Amino acid sequence: MSGKRQNDQKQLAFLLEAEGEARGNQAEGSETLRAERAAESPAESQRLLEVVVDRENMRAALKRVRANAGSPGIDGMTVDKLPEYLNQHWPTIREQLLSGTYQPQAVQRVEIEKQDGSGMRKLGIPTVLDRFIQQAVLQVLQRRWDPTFSEHSYGFRPGRSTREAVSQAQQYIGEGYGWVVDFDLEKFFDRVNHDKLMGQVAKRITDRRMLKLIRAFLNAGVMEGGLVSPTVEGTPQGGPLSPLLSNLVLDELDRELEARGHRFVRYADDCNIYVRSERAGQRVMESVKRFITTKLKLKVNESKSAVAKPQQRKFLGFSFTSGKELKRKIAPQAIHRFKERIREITLGAKGQSMKQTIEELAQYVQGWRGYFGFCETPSVLQGLDSWVRRRVRCAYWRQWRTGRKRFAELVQRGVRGRLAANTAGAHGGPWHVSQSPALDQALSNAYLASLGLPSLVEGR
């Protein structure tokens, strides 16, 4: 325990040094910091950077960045190396921040496949140092800005979740708003207009150094293929500050929809407006599209936006049932992606032990259950649960490979000789054999659970 305490103190040595400097400067004293934190209006504070570099704020930022881990940026520095680097360089960094001369490095461009399989999503990974500073800025600004955001906004906000967003959508539908105007903003994070965004930021911040720092993060550039390109628009996904800035941009949309009296739910750039008729939906679609294009300088993805029944659309991976009783269900696309990922893991078992495969499955299944277990169609989860276990039995059967090995493994797990022999010599493929009585006995649900394979169904 003492070793851990010493380690924490070493990692935070740069903060202790900064605190000493702050005590010698009355403008940066604790009374001023407390007064700034208590300011009611986001625009009242003119010395926000002093709040950013406050010891407790930086301590919290370091803890968060280390917990989030993540890949290195273009300088190759890992999260584990950050405390040591700060111990050596913090006084200089702090002075650059307070003087308004800090210059972020370019972000590392990486691409990941979109969840719906529709293509690749571009991420911009800042350096670990820049992530640390962005996190510190985020903590200060979020405290001030978040309480001013719309109650219809659910994404990237403390204490709000996808579950609340989906539940609110369900409530609107249940109240008779049986048509949805489903907007998809095309490449939203890549197309945010910097000047318009900074205009919104300037309405809330009077500290010019903070404005300059945020602009510097936006204009830091992108490294791709070893070359750095300037960024003239967009707020790269991958940095801690981007979600807050995106909410600030779309807060203008929220206020417009509220002024028009619409019932809507927005989660990041995914916005659904609920109306009573298709005709009303078409009218709202055209009107709001004009606002998004002309006022926000953003583009609506025509192919992914539509006016339809909510049961025909997906929202945050969910959809809704038809009939008298409205229930949340998992969208077909989400089920398809789930099965694709399970197939990838179980087919990959050929090159690794089943212990590793089960561990990888467990991590994915637990995360998926934590998100989609919120559905109200338990029979779907039960079916997927059985399907996952069958995929695992297939993986075992492939690994055993030969008839002799399969016979031995079945007998070892308590299957009688004749049944084991007949199953081991069966001509069917792994998927066919996976539902055989022998494999069901040898690799029972209880046995797979004892290996750490979780169930998608509560109570199992």
pLDDT of amino acid 110: 76
The residue that leads in pLDDT, 113 or 237, is 237
pLDDT of amino acid 226: 61
Average pLDDT on 34-52 reads 60
The residue that leads in pLDDT, 284 or 269, is 284
Strand partners, 239: 237
pLDDT of amino acid 1: 45
Average pLDDT on 407-434 reads 94
Strand partners, 320: 328
> What phi-psi label fits residue 123: left (phi over 0), alpha (psi between -120 and 50 degrees) or beta?
beta
pLDDT of amino acid 228: 60
Under the banding of pLDDT at 50, 70 and 90, the label for residue 42 is: very low
pLDDT of amino acid 20: 45
- pLDDT tens per residue, range 401-420: 999 999 999 999 999 999 99
| Residue 417 CB coordination number (10 Å) | 10
Displacement of CA 424 from its chain's centroid (Å): 45
- pLDDT tens per residue, range 162-198: 999 999 999 999 999 999 999 988 878 778 888 889 9
- pLDDT tens per residue, range 356-388: 999 999 999 999 999 999 999 999 999 999 999
pLDDT of amino acid 177: 97
> Mean pLDDT over all residues of the chain?
87
Under the banding of pLDDT at 50, 70 and 90, the label for residue 224 is: low
Please say whether the beta carbons of 112 and 123 come within 8 A: yes
Q: Is the pLDDT of residue 30 over 90?
A: no
pLDDT of amino acid 323: 83
Strand runs labelled E in 285-390:
306-308, 318-320, 328-330
Full strand arrangement of the beta sheet holding 222-224: 120-125, 107-113, 222-224, 227-229
Range in 63-67, 301-305, 312-316, 403-407 with the lowest mean pLDDT: 301-305
- pLDDT tens per residue, range 257-267: 999 999 999 99
The residue that leads in pLDDT, 114 or 399, is 399
Is 70 buried (19+), middle (13-18) or exposed (0-12) by CB count in 10 A? middle
Average pLDDT on 117-136 reads 82
Q: Is the pLDDT of residue 232 over 80?
A: no
Q: Is the pLDDT of residue 298 over 60?
A: yes
Average pLDDT on 248-273 reads 96
pLDDT of amino acid 3: 52
Under the banding of pLDDT at 50, 70 and 90, the label for residue 47 is: confident
Classify 265 as helix, strand or coil. strand
Whether the predicted model's global pTM rises above the 0.85 cut:
no
pLDDT of amino acid 43: 42
